Amino acid sequence: MEEFTCLLYGQNRESSMDGLLAKPLRKIVGEDEKFTSKLKVDLARLPPCHPALKPNHRVALYKRADESILEKPNP
């Protein structure tokens, strides 16, 4: 999944999300500066982080939200 995401963002030489995130973040923040809350960085422009690519239990619940759940007692 990580390699596919790297290909989507045009980074065919990268195979990990850490490398994919580091390059644009260094370009925005600068090589020697630290990332702080004072910097005005639009994080929506960055690729997703590694945990965001893992399957999420909550998403599975939302996908089944339109299905009714009937609880019937045993006779």
pLDDT in tens, the chain (75 residues): 777 777 777 777 777 777 777 777 777 777 777 777 777 777 777 777 777 777 777 777 788 888 887 777 777
Q: Is 73 inside a domain boundary?
A: no
pTM over 0.85: no
Question: How many domains, in total, are found in the chain?
Answer: 1
Q: Please give the single-letter amino acid code of residue 63.
A: K
Our measurement of the distance from residue 13's CA atom to the centroid of its chain's CA atoms, rounded to an integer in Å, reads 19
Unique residue bearing structure tokens 């596919």: 4
- Please check whether residue 51 lies inside any domain of the structure: yes
74: helix, strand or coil = coil
The boundaries of the domain holding residue 23 are: 2-63
Residue 74, domain member (yes or no): no
Q: Does any domain span residue 10? A: yes
Evaluate whether residue 71 is within a structural domain: no
Burial class (CB in 10 A: 0-12, 13-18, 19+), 28: middle
pLDDT value at position 39? 72
- Asked if the structure places residue 19 within a domain, the reply is yes
Is 45 a domain residue? yes
